[in-house]
Amino acid sequence: MTTNPSTWPNAWPNSYINEVQAIHIPEGTRFGMLTVIKRAPNIGNNRAMLCKCDCGNDKVVQARYLRLDKVMSCGCKKASRTPDGHKKSEHPYYQIWKNMINRTTNRRHLGYPACGGVGIRVCSRWLESFDDFLTDIGPRPPRTVLVRVNKMKDYTPENTRWLTPMQQRALHNPPIRMSQDDRALACAL
């Protein structure tokens, strides 16, 4: 129970600490996926509780975070995780996907004038789902970048490839004198 600050004694900091420490949560109380098991040693001056997550992990959480619904699990079921349990933002292709979307939608992105500014878009399948992008684009060969084969068309599975920077230059800026091998490479794309 929190009291009005005007009713606290003159030793305000100590009274405040005692108010925070006084948070009591009965054993067996559930908060999201966490069930309170018992009181744990304080974290700093704050009361802490040992909780059991539905996944089986134990987690020590400050009681105030449980009361405020700031902690609802041990971290095992965050919405931003892939089926294998890793955060999507930690996936090696995630930043490539995010940059592709920003180039076409974010007016403040440096690449926007050359992409979104001229009407280039990302197909709705990729725009809505990182997992669909991973499925369609396939594994990334070493030392390659994501390139639109036809620079005037959108980012789609048919128009997007992994290419080395040399292949990209040969495709988009063909030299005046092109060797037969380079021509064959550019035509194969």
Question: From the CB of residue 47, how many other CB atoms can be counted at a distance below 10 Å?
Answer: 19
Q: Locate all alpha helices (DSSP H) within the chain, ordered by sequence.
A: 12-21, 63-67, 94-105, 124-128, 130-137, 165-172, 180-188
CB 93 within 8 A of CB 134: yes
pLDDT of residue 182: 64
Convert the pLDDT of each residue in 141-188 to its tens digit. Answer: 999 999 999 888 999 999 999 999 888 888 877 655 656 666 566 555
Convert the pLDDT of each residue in 41-84 to its tens digit. Answer: 988 888 899 999 888 889 999 988 888 888 888 877 664 454 55
CB 9 within 8 A of CB 15: yes
Convert the pLDDT of each residue in 80-108 to its tens digit. Answer: 454 555 566 778 888 999 999 999 998 88
3 state DSSP class of 32: coil
pLDDT of residue 14: 47
